[in-house]
């Protein structure tokens, strides 16, 4: 059975795409068959993994899979192979998806429906979501029912988490489903007093209910990104391998 996970936050700039790629890399490194789905119209994950051409090419794309029910059977044709895991790339047309899905029948369930058309049996599907709440993030949350939450060790994270949890509760009530938070990843932790205070807040707030992983600001992650791979596909061994492997292991 496929385990599907959305990586989401109501706030942008929290390391969401980096987290999603490296969790996917950690799972693949453990021998699992993984699909990385880029649902962000900006396509940072798609371009970062080297699929620049897919982001602008003509023909069927993830946009078509979401807005046209007749195109959903083409999902396997849209998926691209990567050295570590398969990728369902984003597309520039995704900027038009929000209004299309807003008026579409079952507009929040299109990704869920498209996954039913997959011919490949994946062990894990990891979904990178947009840096805001809306129809695309709703599609990810309803298709996955599991959410990993990246955040920064900053005071603004408190408000963003409140918004996300409230939104998830409304989706659960509206669709009669359970959406399970599986953990929080505190990204790009700097060595300063504010960061220490916020890490303490995260641990006090969620320590008994949710696993919390701390990711220091490391240049190795940037080097891996520049190479179009996760930290596990990079030729530099760091403590980041163990950190993201711990997250992947928790999911397994």
- pLDDT band for 152, please (50, 70, 90 cuts): confident
- Name the more confident of 238 and 190: 190
Q: What pLDDT score does 157 carry?
A: 83
Please, what CATH class does the domain formed by 3-251 belong to?
A: alpha beta
Assess whether pLDDT exceeds 70 at residue 8. yes
Assess whether pLDDT exceeds 90 at residue 124. yes
Mean pLDDT of 103-118: 96
Q: What pLDDT score does 175 carry?
A: 96
Q: What pLDDT score does 1 carry?
A: 86
Mean pLDDT of 43-65: 94
The mean pLDDT of the chain is 89
- Name the more confident of 35 and 229: 35
Count Cβ atoms within 10 A of the Cβ of residue 80 and give its class: 0-12 exposed, 13-18 middle, 19 or more buried.
Answer: middle
Q: What pLDDT score does 148 carry?
A: 97
- pLDDT band for 202, please (50, 70, 90 cuts): confident
Mean pLDDT of 3-14: 93
Q: What is the 3-state secondary structure (H, E, C) of 161-229?
A: HHHHHHHHHHHHHHHCCCCEEEEEEEEEECCCHHHHHHHHHHHHHHCCCCCEEEEECCHHHHHHHHCCC
The set of residues, in sequence order, having a beta carbon less than 8 Å from that of 10 and lying 6+ positions away, is 132, 133, 160, 161, 163, 164, 167
Q: What is the pLDDT of residues 203-242, one digit of tens each?
A: 887 877 788 888 876 677 778 878 888 878 876 655 666 7
List b or e across 187-197, with b for residues whose CB sees 16 or more CB atoms inside 10 angstroms.
bbbeeeeebee
Report the predicted TM-score, pTM, of the whole model to 2 decimal places: 0.93
Assess whether pLDDT exceeds 90 at residue 163. yes
Assess whether pLDDT exceeds 70 at residue 22. yes
Domain boundaries, the chain: 3-251
């Amino acid at each position: 059975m496929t385990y599907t996970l959305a990586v989401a936050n109501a706030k942008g700039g929290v390391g969401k795409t980096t987290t999603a790629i490296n969790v996917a890399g950690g799972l693949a490194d453990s021998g699992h068959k993984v699909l990385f789905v880029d649902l962000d119209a900006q396509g940072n994950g798609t371009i970062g993994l080297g699929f620049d051409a897919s982001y602008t090419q003509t023909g069927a794309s993830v946009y078509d899979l979401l807005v046209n029910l007749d195109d959903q059977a083409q999902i396997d044709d849209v998926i691209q192979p990567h050295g570590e895991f398969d990728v369902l790339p984003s597309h520039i047309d995704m900027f038009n998806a929000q209004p299309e899905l807003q008026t579409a029948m079952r507009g929040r369930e299109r990704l869920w429906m498209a996954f039913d058309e997959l011919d490949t049996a994946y062990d894990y599907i990891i979904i990178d979501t947009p840096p805001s709440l809306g129809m695309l993030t709703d599609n990810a949350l309803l298709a996955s029912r599991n959410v990993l939450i990246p955040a920064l060790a900053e005071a603004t994270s408190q408000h963003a988490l409140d918004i996300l949890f409230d939104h998830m509760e409304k989706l659960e009530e509206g669709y009669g489903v359970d959406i399970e938070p599986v953990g929080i990843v505190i990204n790009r932790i700097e060595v300063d007093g504010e960061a220490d205070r916020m890490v303490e807040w995260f641990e006090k707030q969620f320590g008994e209910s949710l696993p919390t992983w701390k990711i220091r600001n490391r240049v190795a992650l940037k080097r891996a990104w520049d190479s179009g791979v996760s930290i596990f596909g990079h030729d530099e061994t760091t403590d980041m391998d163990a950190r993201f492997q711990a997250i992947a292991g928790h999911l397994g």
